[in-house]
């Protein structure tokens, strides 16, 4: 069983369901997919007033939610996978506390969906795909109180960890088509400027794949009926 937590924001609820569909459709292993939704969290109260989505800080609760046991994956909701997510879990390294893509880029756009600021900062987007080693002793300090009191910079840069505990994943597992352009080898598409459900991002690079996944998420087989309807 692979434990996966996906960010849920009611302003783009469709994004969660499309992401979950792509995970389920392509996985070779059993998945336990959980939405990270503020209204479901009983041990956490959001104290931060910044951020572009509802799960910008709650993503760091995953070791706590896993009772500091096992491995779990966090994904932003504005993503779809193009390959078997079990392949990502196969990259687990027990010596690391977290594993992520080590992006090093500056954004082309300083605003993103719904008019949110899109600022540059060190380790930008590292925390958007995180393979968490929840049992690692270094993650014991990531409690709800710690998350509530820490700044965004402290959390998104993993400052409670030494650099040698932050493992690296291939960039294909957190590809930003709206920033980097198309990539036929990408394993995971992250529409970081805006999910294609928003009209202004409906035609960004590789958005057609998101729209196709949405159609698949809405799919239902229909019975062929001969003759008129009753």
Query: Domain-by-domain residue ranges, the chain?
Result: 2-217
Cβ–Cβ under 8 Å, residues 106 and 178: no
Q: Does the pLDDT value for residue 3 go beyond 60?
A: yes
Instruction: Measure the CA–CA gap between 65 and 144, rounded to whole angstroms.
Output: 10
Q: Does the pLDDT value for residue 57 go beyond 60?
A: yes
Instruction: For Cα atoms 78, 84, 85, give the angle at the middle one, nearest 5 degrees.
Output: 55
Cβ–Cβ under 8 Å, residues 60 and 147: yes
Indicate the pLDDT class of residue 42, thresholds 50, 70 and 90.
confident
CATH (residue range 2-217):
3.90.550.10
Q: Which residues, at least 6 apart from 62, have a Cβ–Cβ distance to it below 8 Å?
A: 5, 36, 72, 74, 130, 132, 134
pLDDT tens digit sequence for 155-199: 989 999 999 999 999 999 999 999 999 999 999 999 999 999 999
Global pTM value: 0.90
**Beta-bridge partners for 74:** 5, 130
pLDDT tens digit sequence for 77-105: 999 999 999 999 999 999 999 999 999 87
């Amino acid at each position: 069983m692979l434990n996966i937590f996906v960010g849920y924001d009611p302003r783009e609820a469709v994004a969660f369901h499309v992401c979950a569909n792509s995970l389920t459709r392509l996985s070779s292993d059993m998945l336990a997919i959980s939405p990270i939704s503020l209204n479901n969290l009983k041990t956490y109260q959001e104290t931060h007033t910044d951020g572009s989505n509802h799960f910008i800080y709650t993503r760091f609760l995953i070791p706590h939610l896993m009772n500091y046991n096992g491995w779990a994956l966090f994904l932003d909701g504005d993503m779809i996978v193009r390959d078997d997510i079990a392949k990502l879990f196969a990259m687990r390294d027990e010596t690391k506390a977290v594993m992520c893509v080590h992006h090093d880029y500056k954004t082309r756009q300083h605003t993103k969906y719904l008019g949110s600021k899109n600022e540059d900062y060190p380790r930008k987007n590292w925390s958007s795909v995180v393979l968490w080693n929840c049992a690692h002793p270094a993650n014991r300090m990531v409690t709800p109180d710690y998350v509530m009191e820490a700044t965004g910079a402290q959390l998104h840069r993993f400052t409670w960890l030494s650099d040698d505990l932050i493992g690296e994943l291939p960039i294909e597992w957190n590809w930003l088509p709206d920033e980097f352009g198309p990539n036929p080898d990408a394993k995971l598409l992250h529409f970081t400027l805006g999910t294609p459900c928003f009209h202004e991002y409906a035609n960004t690079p590789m958005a057609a794949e998101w729209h196709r996944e949405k159609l698949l998420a809405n799919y239902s087989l229909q019975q062929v009926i001969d003759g008129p309807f009753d």
